[in-house]
Amino acid sequence: MKYLVQLIRILVGFSFVSSGFLKMIDPLGTSYKLEEYFNPSVLNLEFLVPYALLIGIILILIETALGVFLLIGFKSKWTIWGLFLMTSLFLFLTWYSAYYNKVTDCGCFGDAIKLTPWETFYKNVVLFIMIVFLGFKSSNIFNFFNISITKWIAFLVIPLSLYFMYFTLLSLPIIDFRPYKIGTNITEGMKLKEGEYIPAIHDFILESEVSGDITNPILQDKKVLLVLIYDLQKSDKNSFDKIKEITDIAVSKNYKVYGVSASLPEDFNEIKSQYQLNFEFLFNDGTTIKTMIRANPGLMVLEKGIIVDKRNWIDAGKLVLN
């Protein structure tokens, strides 16, 4: 029985730590997923949308910390109670999403592992049962390290996790599991492959107010710089001086530069005039732009449809422009 307790403890702890880490490398993605849950058609908690990133960070910290605490044996009874409460919440949310078909991907493992709503729910059922079992056998959960080391690990896990997420938010996810990672050939990604129900990239459409759909010509150009802004109203206005600087450099190097946003044309014109931006704005769906890059604004360099570099606007100066 003791061996079974340790095995389940490791499985539950590893599940929470891996789930927390995969969200930690992309906290913005977690906030976007929470916004889906807060949507009027799901939980109708729109007042929480402005706090989605903060709530996401708190949930990631709790999830990661509880997983680490269980693995190292820190405050086992309190840790198991925390796991029980968190899994109960996830159990309800995933059942609700699956039963009413509200959110098709819970984002439990970020973009790394995609589960259907019912698969996610059953996964949480199994976790819930294992956590209840650990609750009855908590006396068999011992510290893997001595008390001093255990306390130091427990003390450091939250500040280290916070620093890691801060670094990620200022740059981009260190591991990109989305279909627009560096090295991707967008044209190839738009083709339906054997065994797929839908192409990996099925929503990359760039529309000009004047010329209509110009996706294919852009994917055939040798030098293209896209300034990706899913929502101009929510974008960091301090970014546009840097955007102006880097896009001027790109134009001088014969790049074709385009802004891409889901915002209204009048918002484009206002920003373009205020910062004297020397490029045309194109339209694409906001969700697609969020998938393309975790920044608002972000920068993407294309060479004949291949993504050769991506940067948060903060790192605009590091952008590779040949």
pLDDT digits (tens, 9 = 90+) for 87-100: 998 888 888 888 87
pLDDT of residue 43: 83
Which position has the token pair 């929480």?
48
Q: What is the pLDDT of residues 146-156, one digit of tens each?
A: 888 888 998 99
Q: How confident is the model at residue 106 (pLDDT cuts 50, 70, 90)?
A: low
Task: Report in angstroms the alpha-carbon separations of 232 from 64, 118, 156, 264, 267.
Answer: 33, 36, 37, 9, 7
Question: Of 112, 146, 170, which residue sits at a domain end?
Answer: 170
Distance separating alpha carbons of residues 294 and 230, to the nearest angstrom: 10
Lookup: tokens for 119 = 């698969």
Q: Are residues 101 and 194 in the same domain?
A: no
Residue 179 placed within a domain: no
Lookup: tokens for 249 = 């450099």
pTM: 0.87
| Lowest-pLDDT range of 81-90, 199-208, 262-271 | 262-271
Q: What is the pLDDT of residues 217-243, one digit of tens each?
A: 999 999 999 999 998 888 888 899 999
Q: Are residues 78 and 219 in the same domain?
A: no
Distance separating alpha carbons of residues 289 and 93, to the nearest angstrom: 26
Domain limits for position 100 = 2-170
Number of domains in the chain: 2
Phi, psi of 14, rounded to the nearest 5 degrees: -65, -35
Q: Is the pLDDT of residue 108 over 80?
A: no
Question: Of 135, 170, 205, which residue sits at a domain end?
Answer: 170
Distance separating alpha carbons of residues 29 and 9, to the nearest angstrom: 28
Strands (E), 119-196: none
Q: Are residues 165 and 190 in the same domain?
A: no
Q: Are residues 135 and 208 in the same domain?
A: no
pLDDT of residue 237: 80
What average pLDDT does the segment 100-115 reach?
68
Residue 124 placed within a domain: yes
Q: Are residues 122 and 24 in the same domain?
A: yes
- Which has more confidence, 196 or 90? 90
DSSP bridge pairs for 257: 225
Q: Residue 98 in contact with residue 112, Cβ under 8 Å?
A: no
Is 62 strand, coil or helix? helix
Q: What is the pLDDT of residues 274-298, one digit of tens each?
A: 889 889 899 999 999 999 999 999 9
Task: Report in angstroms the alpha-carbon separations of 171 from 26, 257, 289, 296, 315.
Answer: 10, 21, 16, 11, 7
Q: Is the pLDDT of residue 107 over 80?
A: no
Residue 202 placed within a domain: yes
Q: What is the CATH number of the domain that holds 218?
A: 3.40.30.10
DSSP bridge pairs for 260: 228, 282
What average pLDDT does the segment 50-78 reach?
93
Q: Residue 55 in contact with residue 30, Cβ under 8 Å?
A: no
Lookup: tokens for 321 = 């422009």
What average pLDDT does the segment 160-183 reach?
92
Percentage of the chain with pLDDT > 90? Answer: 52
Please name the helix (run of DSSP H) or strand (run of DSSP E) that holds residue 184, with its range, or none: none
What's the CA angle centered on 314, arms 312 and 315, to 5 degrees?
70
Q: Is the pLDDT of residue 105 over 70?
A: no
Q: Are residues 133 and 208 in the same domain?
A: no
Q: Are residues 252 and 148 in the same domain?
A: no
Lookup: tokens for 46 = 């729109």
